[in-house]
Amino acid sequence: MVITGERTVPGIWHENYWFRRHEVVYESLRDRVRGVRVLEAGCGEGYGADLLRREAGSLVALDYDEYATGHVRTAYPEVSVVRGNLVALPYADAAFDVVVSLQTIEHLWDQDGFVAECVRVLRPGGLLVMSTPNTLTFPPGNIYHPKELEPGELHDLVAHHAKVTSLVGLHHGARVAAWEQDHGSLVDAQVATPYEQWPAPVAEVVRSVRTDDFVLREGDDADLAASLDLVVSAVRD
C-alpha cells in the first residue's frame, strides 16, 4: 500500500518499528481468538487480520476505506473482508465472540458510537479488545487522528458500554530501552527527519526491531501514562 501516514505497512524497512509495534499486540491475541467468531473492526492493510484468522474459528475484516479493502482482497485472499461503516456495523446483535480493533479509534470522530457498535455485535460475555496510541507520549500532529486518548479517557469511553477487565500499556523492551539510554528517544529520532537522513545508528536499529522488543504490562497510573500504546479489554454484560 502507499504510505501516507494513515496506516502501518509491513515489508518496508523504514516502517519496521511501527509495524512491529502494532504486530506485537496482534500476536498477544492469538489465544483469545482461538476457535471463535472474530470481527476486526478497522483492518487497515490486513496483516493483522491474516495473522488472527489462522487461529480464529472464523474472522471477518472490516474497513470503511475502499482502497484498503481492495488491497486486503489482493494481498490476503484467505481473509474475508467487508467494506462497511464502523459506526453502523452491518451485523446483527451478538454476531461475534470477539471484536478486535487496533489503532483505529483515534481515526474516528464518533468514538462513543464506534464503541457502542462494537459492543452491540458481541454476544453476552463476548470480548472487546481495542488499542490506541497514548496521546501523552505520541508525537503530536498526525492529521489522521481527530482525537487521541489518554489512559483514563480510553478506560472511561469503553466502560460506558462494557465491563473493562484490563488496561495495559505497551513499552519498549530492554534492548530498545538500552539503545535509547545511549542515543535518546527512538521515536523522536524517526520523526525528526525524513528516513533518508536518519543517522546510521537510527536506521540500523529500526531495521532490526522485532516484536519481542516490546512488552505489554499492567501498571499504576504513572506507568500507563508513560506507555507508548494502550490496550483495553472489556466484556459485554
Q: What is the pLDDT of residues 89-108, one digit of tens each?
A: 999 999 999 999 999 999 99
Angstrom distance (rounded) from CA 128 to CA 19: 22
Task: Produce one character per residue of 67-78: b if its CB has 16 or more CB atoms within 10 Å, e if not.
Answer: ebbebbeeebee
pLDDT above 70: percentage of residues in the chain: 100
Chain-wide mean pLDDT for the chain? 97
Owner of C-alpha cell 533518508: 196
Q: Among residues 141, 90, 96, 88, which one has the least CA distance to residue 117?
A: 88
The DSSP bridge pattern shows strands 37-41 and 163-172 to be unpaired
Q: How many CB atoms lie within 10 A of CB 7?
A: 23
Q: What is the pLDDT of residues 27-37, one digit of tens each?
A: 999 999 999 99
Taking the whole predicted model, whether its pTM rises above 0.85 is answered as yes
- What's the pLDDT score for residue 85? 97
The answer to whether the CB of 19 falls within 8 A of the CB of 27 is no
The answer to whether the CB of 56 falls within 8 A of the CB of 33 is yes
